[in-house]
């Protein structure tokens, strides 16, 4: 097992200042009785609203914080007690914090990391060559980091995190602030690392697009608790009770002849998006009726965005914990 989290809780003490002298002690439970397991080579997303406990969970897994209750094993080690030893085998990228030296080229940070991780010169040279090729860094390797675009910087961040060949990569909001192209590049790299290089990925992100493209498994946290633990495709299946049909008509449609359970989701000239409630009606029937009445150029049938499912989960307070039991295992 790569990661084993068993009934972990983490409490913080909060002192609220009230007035001039009064302070009120309050205990905040950032993580509450959380249990899960991750097999080697998997990609797991930790998602949830702000304050859900995602970042605290990552810090617990890295050994930065110790749990108030429960136990954690990462690569057969206690991350808090064996932090230095574990550091050789894991790595982390925090999207809002850089490990690169701002005024110097990325190559200098790579060489410094070689010393931090005790990598000998020959091995470091070989490793850097691989990473430079993999991340296509050669064109800006000798430029000061301050002159790099955000996307180039993030590629360097991830390359730097991989210099010591970690088995697990923890990523906290790795695509924050990136434009569409840079985001796509970073996601492709992470997916390649996971699928082809067997690096276990634990990711937190607010972007459901990132999660869908990188991860197979998902844990939804809310107020420190697991509210859903599932494979992403199963989550889609269990929580998708609708489909989106995008139709491009030959001309502006006169009468859509909609069945009950079908609503216009969006319309832009001859392009109409319909949301079909699968409990009420059948997609085939909806399509047949529309095609029978109108000239259609193109039709696509999609699932609704993951965003709306997660919103639904948060709002409904769904708890898979109850269904899956305390020690549900995420496995292949």
Partner 1 sequence: MSTAGKYFSLFLGYLHINAKGLLEYRVSSLIALFGSLLNSAIWLVFWWVFFRRFPNISEWQFVHLFTIWAVLNVALAFVSVFYNVYKIPAIINEGKLEYYLVRPKNALFHLLIARMRLVDLVEAFIWFISFIILKPELPAVILFLVMSVISSAIIHGFLLILGSLGFFLKSADGIGTELYNALITFSTYPNWIFGGATKWIIFTVIPAGFISYVPVQVIYNRVYWWILGSLGFAVLLNVVGCVVFSRGLKYFETGNTFVLRAD
**Closer residue to partner 1, CB minimum distance, 170 or 239:** 170
| E-strand stretches of the chain | 3-18, 22-38, 43-47, 69-74, 90-94, 168-172, 200-204, 217-222, 225-231, 242-249, 262-268, 271-277, 296-302, 329-330
Pairing of strands 262-268, 329-330: unpaired
Could you tell me which residues come within 8 angstroms of residue 36 by beta carbon, excluding any fewer than 6 positions away? 3, 5, 219, 226, 229, 328, 329, 330
Window of 56-64, 152-160, 264-272, 291-299 that interacts with partner 1 by CB under 8 A: 56-64
14 binds partner 1 (CB under 8 A): yes
Report yes or no: 252 and 299 within 8 Å, Cβ to Cβ.
no
**Closer residue to partner 1, CB minimum distance, 48 or 114:** 114
**Closer residue to partner 1, CB minimum distance, 92 or 230:** 92
Residue 64 to residue 130: CA distance in whole angstroms: 30
The DSSP letter of residue 110 is H
Residue 6 to residue 34: CA distance in whole angstroms: 7
The distance of closest approach from Cβ of residue 313 to partner 1 in the complex, given in angstroms and rounded to an integer, is 28
24 binds partner 1 (CB under 8 A): yes
The residue with tokens 């998708």 is 240
The distance of closest approach from Cβ of residue 153 to partner 1 in the complex, given in angstroms and rounded to an integer, is 16
Q: Which of residues 71-130 bind partner 1 (CB under 8 A)?
A: 80, 83-85, 87-88, 90-92, 94, 97, 99, 101, 103-104, 108-109, 111-112, 114-118
Residue 206 to residue 210: CA distance in whole angstroms: 8
The distance of closest approach from Cβ of residue 321 to partner 1 in the complex, given in angstroms and rounded to an integer, is 25
176 binds partner 1 (CB under 8 A): no
**Closer residue to partner 1, CB minimum distance, 105 or 151:** 105
50 binds partner 1 (CB under 8 A): no
**Closer residue to partner 1, CB minimum distance, 108 or 248:** 108
**Closer residue to partner 1, CB minimum distance, 66 or 308:** 66
51 binds partner 1 (CB under 8 A): no
Pairing of strands 329-330, 242-249: unpaired
Q: How many residues bind partner 1 (CB under 8 A)?
A: 41
**Closer residue to partner 1, CB minimum distance, 115 or 237:** 115
**Closer residue to partner 1, CB minimum distance, 17 or 292:** 17
CB atoms within 10 A of CB 239: 20
Report yes or no: 98 and 176 within 8 Å, Cβ to Cβ.
no
The distance of closest approach from Cβ of residue 176 to partner 1 in the complex, given in angstroms and rounded to an integer, is 15
Window of 10-18, 38-46, 70-78, 313-321 that interacts with partner 1 by CB under 8 A: 10-18
Report yes or no: 263 and 286 within 8 Å, Cβ to Cβ.
no
Window of 8-16, 33-41, 224-232, 294-302 that interacts with partner 1 by CB under 8 A: 8-16
**Closer residue to partner 1, CB minimum distance, 12 or 71:** 12
The distance of closest approach from Cβ of residue 18 to partner 1 in the complex, given in angstroms and rounded to an integer, is 5
21 binds partner 1 (CB under 8 A): no
E strand or H helix at 134:
helix 121-135
CB atoms within 10 A of CB 182: 18
Q: Maximum distance among all alpha carbons in the chain?
A: 75
Binding site for partner 1 (CB under 8 A): 12-18, 23-24, 59, 62-66, 68, 80, 83-85, 87-88, 90-92, 94, 97, 99, 101, 103-104, 108-109, 111-112, 114-118, 144
């Amino acid at each position: 097992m790569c990661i084993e989290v068993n009934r972990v809780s983490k409490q913080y003490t909060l002192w609220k200042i009230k007035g001039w002298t009064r302070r009120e002690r309050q205990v905040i439970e950032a993580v509450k009785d959380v249990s899960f397991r991750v097999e080697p080579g998997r990609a797991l997303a930790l998602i949830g609203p702000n304050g859900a406990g995602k970042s605290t969970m990552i810090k617990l897994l890295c050994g930065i914080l110790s749990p108030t209750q429960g136990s954690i094993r990462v690569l057969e080690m206690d991350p808090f007690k064996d932090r230095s030893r574990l550091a050789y085998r894991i790595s982390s990228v925090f999207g809002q914090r850089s490990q690169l030296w701002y005024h110097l080229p990325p190559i200098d940070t790579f060489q410094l990391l070689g010393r931090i991780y005790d990598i000998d010169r020959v091995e470091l040279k070989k490793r850097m060559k691989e990473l430079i090729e993999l991340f296509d860094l050669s064109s800006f390797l000798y430029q000061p980091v301050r002159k790099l675009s955000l996307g180039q910087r993030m590629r360097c961040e991830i390359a730097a995190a991989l210099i010591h060949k970690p088995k697990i990569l923890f990523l906290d909001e790795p695509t924050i602030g990136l434009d569409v192209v840079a985001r796509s590049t970073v996601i492709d790299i992470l997916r390649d690392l996971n699928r082809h290089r067997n690096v276990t990925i634990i990711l937190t992100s607010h972007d459901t697009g990132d999660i869908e493209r990188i991860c197979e498994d998902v844990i939804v946290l809310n107020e420190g608790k697991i509210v859903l633990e599932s494979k992403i495709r199963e989550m889609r299946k269990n929580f998708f009770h609708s489909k989106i049909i995008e139709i491009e008509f030959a001309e502006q449609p006169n009468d859509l002849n909609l069945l009950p359970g079908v609503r216009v989701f969006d319309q832009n000239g001859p392009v109409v998006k319909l949301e079909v409630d699968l409990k009420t009606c059948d997609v085939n029937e909806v399509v047949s009726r529309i095609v029978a009445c109108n000239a259609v150029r193109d039709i696509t049938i999609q699932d609704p965005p993951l965003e709306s499912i997660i919103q639904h989960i948060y709002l409904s307070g769904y708890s898979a914990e109850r269904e899956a039991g305390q020690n549900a295992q995420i496995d292949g």
